[in-house]
Chain A
């Protein structure tokens, strides 16, 4: 049975990738299992300079999901390179650096810096809903998606993934814009903007007022957007949004994903990604699927 997949020339031993922002830099979960069993690890979103993130309450539970507003807390590029990269280099898995910035120039400078390390790929984060500047601001209008992708691509010596926001008019337009800008792959979806209110205090639960909704609650939206993106671009797609089980992985691949990212599930269960790799093998056997790649885009349209 073949579990490996290839995205923009990078070989993943299986299609399970830990999603940015839910897996730190891999160290914490490596205390639970050898994280090298995963196809890949996407780092916490990085910025050129360190960021403390948002103060106060950053999480709210919602039915079958959660809202978060961390605000891109991260150690910055230099400390990432100095303190986290040496550990990541010891792992036998694909390392994807998630890069973000307040301005296009920041994103370009950061990409240039990170490309000098041994990371395997760059994921451009133009979809973080929890920061006041940058973040999703680049990710809404197709023209700005194409512009920033083009600028970052010019500075990027590694395969470039562009992570799309679902908080847009037509995801297909944004996927096409990323492809036109030179993206080697597309990942989607980032979180859906949402809100939680405490009726007793009449205040938002999150200090940032709004947050990003994730977890199984958003899976149907994510599947639909993966499917629409698949129909509109030729570059590989990494699907994500509420994946909890091996069945979910197959569904995303059938919709058009070549690999998937697992996010909130790691937060709900420290063994989530590890268990997914194991149960995926069992499920493929049961379904008599020889090569997992045959699933990608195999949806039979009604």
Chain B
């Protein structure tokens, strides 16, 4: 693997805190999978750690990321201008493995957690995919139109200001219970309460579910062991590396 020096070719704010960043590489990129991530260097010597971001869209020479401003590092990235360069290593992590028998796929996300899921329908155009995208309120909705171009979509808001009134998991159960959609697999990303709800649904309905979570990360390549994710394995709780063993885990195994 190598460090890639990307050029910023596009930066657009989707709402006041979330922006889309397109990075173009000088040469063809390695093959990527939905759910994999990039570890990006920030141009500030006092911020030593790289920042991991899931791949939102990718093609042979570019990757697009969806970034929420949560601190100094993401604020600096938001100030990048077209033509600036930024260094990163990618693709990292396992990503979502969509199996052959998984023809019907439900995507369940909370907020910006929808970002890593779009590449699933984009890279599997022959699958029957429905995205249940949950947001806190109408002002926080992002990427809905992008999902609509790729698959069926059901938007929900916690306060009912847009779409289904409730959580994304409620919207999914609504469809499931009324027989509208019976998926073979659930793929999810979002806050911990959402992940817990999906874990419960997966157990109750006996539908396998895979999650990609969020954790503080160090090297991003599996060496430093700081991004521990507690997983049940062989009757024991073991600490897996989110960066190298994940970031996608079978939700059944994860200690949430």
Contacts and interface: CB of A to CB of B under 8 A. Distances in A.
A215 B237 CA distance: 31
A90 interface: no
Interface residues of A, number: 35
Interface stretch (B44-52, B115-123, B158-166, B190-198): B44-52
A52 B238 contact: yes
A23 B45 CA distance: 22
B22 to A, nearest CB: 24
B222 A55 contact: no
Contacts of A194: none
Contact of B1 (A31, A52, A65): A31
Contact of A28 (B222, B227, B238): B222
B226 A70 contact: yes
Given A267-B49, A267-B218, A270-B3, A56 B228 contact: yes
A156 B225 CA distance: 28
A29 B221 contact: yes
A302 interface: no
A3 interface: no
Interface in A53-76: 53-61, 63-66, 68, 70, 73
Contact of B225 (A53, A61, A64): A53
A23 B223 contact: yes
Given A52-B238, A264-B48, A59 B218 contact: yes
Contact of B223 (A22, A60, A63, A66): A22
B55 interface: no
A11 to B, nearest CB: 26
Given A66-B218, A68-B218, A266-B219, A58 B225 contact: yes
Nearest to B87: A269
Contacts of A24: 222-225
Contacts of A199: none
- Mostly helix, strand, loop or mixed at chain A's interface? loop
Interface string B23-54: 00000000000000000010001111110000
Contact of B221 (A31, A57, A73, A215): A31
Contact of A64 (B48, B237, B239): B48
Nearest to A57: B216
B98 interface: no
A268 B50 contact: yes
B223 A70 contact: no
A258 interface: no
Interface string B217-243: 111011111111010000001110000
B225 A66 contact: no
Nearest to B224: A267
B48 A61 contact: yes
Contacts of A142: none
Contacts of A60: 216
Given A53-B239, A264-B48, A268-B50, A58 B3 contact: no
Interface of B: 1-3, 41, 45-50, 89, 215-219, 221-228, 230, 237-239, 244
Minimum-distance CB pairs A-B, first 6: A59-B226, A24-B223, A28-B223, A58-B226, A267-B219, A28-B222
14 contacts: A32-B221, A55-B230, A56-B228, A59-B216, A59-B217, A59-B218, A59-B224, A59-B226, A63-B46, A70-B224, A267-B49, A267-B219, A269-B41, A270-B219
Given A59-B216, A266-B219, 20 more contacts: A23-B223, A24-B224, A31-B221, A44-B225, A52-B237, A56-B228, A59-B218, A59-B224, A60-B216, A61-B48, A64-B45, A73-B225, A73-B239, A215-B48, A267-B49, A267-B223, A269-B3, A269-B41, A270-B1, A270-B89
